[in-house]
């Protein structure tokens, strides 16, 4: 009778609602991951810029202090930890921040996790293979 039609409509309506919610979640999840990854890259870029910012030096007005500084060849950093690092690959227009990870769980990384440096490999500038993985 009439009660069966109402029950059937409620079931169809509930199933349709569940499918719509699932579809929105499936579309929204990658967008959420992309936003989260961009926020993490922005945070890492700020940390990188804060660490590499050159302090402002005021020039004095003294006439005696007009000597030209002698050029000193910069040396490679001595690595004891992986500090905030930026990777740039001009050929593919890529500029990303790299983070160090403590394990080799490459497949356990989330899609929104920034590219990772694996400390089991060499430090940048050293002889050998440097291992960086990311999506």
Does the pLDDT of residue 33 top 70, yes or no? yes
Using the 8-state DSSP alphabet, how is residue 120 labeled? T
User: Where in the chain are the domains?
Assistant: 1-52+81-135
- pLDDT confidence of residue 18: 98
CA 28 distance to own-chain centroid = 20
Determine the distance from the C-alpha atom of residue 131 to the mean position of all C-alpha atoms in its chain, rounded to a whole number.
Answer: 16
- Alpha carbon 42 to chain centroid distance? 8
pLDDT of residue 100: 80
Residue 71 has pLDDT above 60, yes or no: yes
């Amino acid at each position: 009778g009439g009660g069966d039609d109402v029950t059937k409509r409620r079931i169809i309506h509930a199933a349709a609602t569940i499918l719509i919610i699932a579809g929105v979640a499936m579309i929204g999840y990658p967008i959420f991951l992309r936003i989260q990854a961009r926020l993490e890259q922005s945070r890492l870029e700020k940390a990188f810029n804060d660490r590499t910012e050159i302090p402002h030096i005021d020039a004095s007005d003294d006439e005696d202090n007009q000597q030209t500084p002698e050029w000193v060849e910069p040396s490679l950093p001595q690595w004891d930890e992986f500090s905030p690092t930026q990777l740039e690959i001009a050929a593919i227009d890529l500029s990303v921040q790299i983070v160090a990870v403590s394990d080799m769980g490459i497949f356990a990384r989330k899609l929104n996790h920034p590219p990772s440096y694996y400390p089991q490999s060499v430090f940048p500038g050293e002889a050998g293979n440097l291992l960086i993985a990311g999506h």
